Amino acid sequence: MPLVAHNGLPTFARLREEGCDVLSPENADKQDIRALHIGLLNMMPDAALEATERQFLRLIDRANRVVQITVHPFTVDALARGERARQHISAHYETFDQVREHGLDALILTGANVTQPALETEAFWPELAAVTDWAAEHVTSTLCSCLASHAVWQHRFGIKRTNLGRKCWGVFEHRPIDSQHPLAQNINSRFSVPHSRFNAVSQGELEANGIRVLTTSDEAGVLTAVSPDGFRFVFMQGHPEYDTNSLLKEYKRELVRFSDGEIDNPPPFVRHFFDRRSKAIITEHIDALAGARRNGSAPPPFPEHLIEDQIDNVWRDTAKAMVSTWIGKVYQLTHVDPRQPFQAGIDPENPLSL
């Protein structure tokens, strides 16, 4: 938690310049322990709906900074849902009208299953745009995950993403390039995070539109960035929330598509993810799938159990540090009853001043 500059010790000023959390006694008096209310706009398809809930709630829990957090999941009505998912949403989710009525301290926007060549033609687009516009005026900070980052960049800043021609798929090494921003503090000078996407927005495009880029990868491009005010929107092009086996599950789904004849070639290995033994097991399995396709026989089951134990999670601590800092900043910037409509705005001239 933050330091309190209760006297004139010069070290406090030096630490503040370095980006450390240092409060004045006046602002420290406002930091009573209270609940935070975080919305989760979950737009993922049925098969990933509950897994996405678990990923983000688990990450929030790991990043808990001595504060009670209530998460309010909701979704968009335009997304087609199966009966089981509709029942789950009806029983456990709130509506956007309910969320808007009570207010939020912070908001998380998940990705979604894309079916159209242009984001603005997706069924979820009008509702996502409405939530984004409301959040810009009424929520202290909104954390955007992967596709949600692309959608907000397009809707709020007019930046359209570019198709890469291939999938950016793997666990890539990153470095902070703006170590003065609080959200780039408390992470290693070199760290790895998963990516899984066919599209991207470059650092140059973002910076030309006032977006502040915080961390990047030579192979995967931008990971994290923030809106021009420094905190209202926090963007992630990668997936620090992923479970250890999330990329393995994605790879397995692509192998099923190959086995079913939906794609002609087996998927490439997820980069920097499988060890040599796992690659050998997968190669053998792909050969068996190809043989089954030729012979019209039943495909063999994927030997997931032989691979899962070989996967190392090298991004969990980074994800925890990022979200912990984000939650800590939200906590310090919200001084009103979080269940009431938003009142305490961020100073646009100095959004991170406390």
| 241 catalytic residue (yes or no) | yes
Q: What is the DSSP string of 175-237?
A: EES-TTSGGGTTS-SSEEEEEEEEEE--HHHHHHTT-EEEEEETTTEEEEEE-TTSSSEEEES
Q: Check whether 203 has a pLDDT greater than 90.
A: yes
Give the N- to C-terminal CA distance of the chain in Å, as an integer.
Answer: 13
Single out the catalytic residue among 53, 150, 181, 241.
241
Q: Check whether 263 has a pLDDT greater than 90.
A: yes
Single out the catalytic residue among 146, 150, 168, 181.
146
| 146 catalytic residue (yes or no) | yes
Query: Hey, is 81 helix, strand or coil?
Result: coil
Show the beta-strand stretches assigned E in the chain: 3-4, 22-23, 35-43, 68-74, 106-112, 141-145, 162-176, 191-200, 212-217, 221-226, 233-236
Q: DSSP assignment, residue 244? A: T
Q: Check whether 208 has a pLDDT greater than 90.
A: yes
Across the beta sheet with 233-236, the strand order is 68-74, 35-43, 106-112, 141-145, 233-236, 221-226, 212-217, 162-176, 191-200
Mean pLDDT within 228-250: 95
Average predicted confidence (pLDDT) for the chain? 88
Q: How does pLDDT run across 99-154, given as a tens digit for each residue?
A: 999 999 999 999 999 989 899 999 999 999 999 999 999 999 999 999 999 999 99
Mean pLDDT within 194-213: 97
- Which pLDDT value is given to residue 348? 42
Residues of the chain with CATH 3.40.50.880: 32-244+313-333
Confidence of residue 339 (pLDDT cuts 50, 70, 90): very low
Question: Which pTM does this prediction carry?
Answer: 0.86
Label residue 230 left, alpha or beta by phi (over 0 means left) and psi (-120 to 50 means alpha). Answer: left
Q: Class assignment of domain 32-244+313-333?
A: alpha beta
Q: Check whether 306 has a pLDDT greater than 80.
A: yes
Query: Hey, is 147 helix, strand or coil?
Result: helix
Single out the catalytic residue among 150, 181, 195, 239.
239
